[in-house]
Amino acid sequence: MRVYVTAPGKVTLFGEHAVVYGQPAIVASIDKRVHVFAEPRPDGTITIEARDLRVPGVIVTYKEGEVTVETEYGLVLPAISYLNKAVELTSRYLDSRHGVKLVVRSEMPVGAGLGTSAAVAVATIAAYAYSGGYELSRDEIARLGWEVEKAVQGVASPMDTSITTYGGFMKIEYSGEIIERQNLGVNGDLPIVLAYVEREFKTRDMVLMVRDKLSKYPQLYGRIIELIGEVTRAAEKALVRHDLHELGLLMNLNHGLLDSLGVSTRKLNEVVYAARSSGALGAKLTGAGGGGCVIALSQSEKLETVETIMRFLSEFTMKTSLGSEGIKVEIEKSS
């Protein structure tokens, strides 16, 4: 049967990287989604069409009647490896392999730190399973998605795959195989703006770099990780009170700690400082770092100014609402 699956991207408000080591993180789905269409193929082959995975920095050159298009293949290829792994692990889990044509589209740029890889993985898992006539629970989809991220990245927390599966606004923490997901019943209507700067490193590189430092200097980096956990716990309380000033302060603290872990870059820091000096209550990198997105929180009346200033120093900016629905599966039964 033909299947259409969508899954949202996400922003990490607090706790990225530390979540890999058992600290809590606060994360919310955004209103941009990944779309996967799946159609069974009787010849048993698997084809993937991912032309529309939007990559920032596509360069189109017109010269003497010829058009040359250059893309950042370094970013596209990892996205394809999440797709491949998703098909491989799902067919192994179902103990069944069927031919399928998968068409993938994304409303978000790949590799921006907005959880595109997790959304691609989770939507592909569901699309592949349902197109073969199988049903999976959300728990199974999220679990398999996590396996895909671990296989591709080497190390991963279940944060991104959980939020894209369930959606909403959640606190997430895990220990070994036990995952605690708490849907935060808070007002998700936060005045935030995102700005994207060119990604210099992949998620995998950043996660492995932190792991390396932690194993060499556990006393120092371990304490930074613990402090990020403390900031996240305080942020949960501030969110419940909808205390924007305290949330801003905690975002700034979180960014400083991420910078000490070594995952920020000069460009990210420039956008963070520009956002703060134009009136944001707080700003931090969001996601794995090494480039990618900065998230700034502001009072609503200053949001436009903050966005304008951030746009000067970044590739693009966007506003988003938080807490959109998780994975959605639509099945078109053949007659």
C-alpha distance from residue 34 to each of 39, 88, 127, 141, 163 (Å) = 17, 20, 12, 15, 13
Residue placing its CB nearer to ligand MEV in the complex, 113 or 248: 113
Determine, following the binding rule CB under 6 A, whether residue 157 of this chain makes contact with ligand MEV.
yes
- Give me the catalytic one of 160, 189, 205, 212: 160
Tell me if residue 205 is catalytic.
no
Residue placing its CB nearer to ligand MEV in the complex, 161 or 278: 161
272 backbone φψ class: left, alpha, beta (φ>0; ψ -120 to 50): alpha
State the Cα–Cα distance between residues 174 and 15, nearest whole angstrom. 13
Binding residues for ligand MEV, rule CB under 6 A, total: 14
Pick one of 56, 168, 287, 323: the residue that binds ligand MEV (CB under 6 A). Answer: 287
Pick one of 116, 162, 203, 324: the residue that binds ligand MEV (CB under 6 A). Answer: 203
Determine, following the binding rule CB under 6 A, whether residue 288 of this chain makes contact with ligand MEV.
yes
Burial of 94 per CB tally in 10 Å (0-12, 13-18, 19+): middle
For 42, the 3-state DSSP assignment is coil
Determine, following the binding rule CB under 6 A, whether residue 156 of this chain makes contact with ligand MEV.
yes
Determine, following the binding rule CB under 6 A, whether residue 20 of this chain makes contact with ligand MEV.
yes
Inter-axis angle of helices 138-153 and 116-131, to 10 degrees?
130
User: What letter represents residue 107's amino acid?
Assistant: E
Determine, following the binding rule CB under 6 A, whether residue 16 of this chain makes contact with ligand MEV.
yes
Q: Which of 318, 286, 34 is nearest to 164 (CA)?
A: 34
Helix H or strand E encompassing 48: strand 46-52
Pick one of 7, 19, 261, 297: the residue that binds ligand MEV (CB under 6 A). Answer: 19
Q: What backbone torsions phi and psi does residue 251 show, to the nearest 5 degrees?
A: -65, -40
Least distance to ligand MEV, CB of residue 163, Å: 10
CB atoms within 10 A of CB 236: 18
Determine, following the binding rule CB under 6 A, whether residue 159 of this chain makes contact with ligand MEV.
yes
Determine, following the binding rule CB under 6 A, whether residue 160 of this chain makes contact with ligand MEV.
yes
Q: Which of 31, 9, 326 is nearest to 166 (CA)?
A: 326
Residue placing its CB nearer to ligand MEV in the complex, 142 or 306: 142
Nearest 10 degrees: Cα torsion 154, 160, 161, 162: 130
Residue placing its CB nearer to ligand MEV in the complex, 122 or 207: 207
The contact mask relative to ligand MEV for 242-281 (x = CB under 6 A, - = no) is ----------------------------------------
Least distance to ligand MEV, CB of residue 287, Å: 4
Residue placing its CB nearer to ligand MEV in the complex, 17 or 276: 17
287 backbone φψ class: left, alpha, beta (φ>0; ψ -120 to 50): left
Q: CB under 6 A: which stretch of 152-160, 182-190, 227-235, 276-284 binds ligand MEV?
A: 152-160
Least distance to ligand MEV, CB of residue 229, Å: 12
Residue placing its CB nearer to ligand MEV in the complex, 268 or 288: 288
CB atoms within 10 A of CB 256: 15
Q: Which of 115, 135, 233 is nearest to 184 (CA)?
A: 233
Q: Which of 9, 43, 10, 45 is nearest to 26 (CA)?
A: 10
Note the residues at the interface with ligand MEV (CB under 6 A).
Answer: 16-17, 19-20, 113, 115, 156-157, 159-160, 203, 207, 287-288
Q: Which residues are catalytic?
A: 160
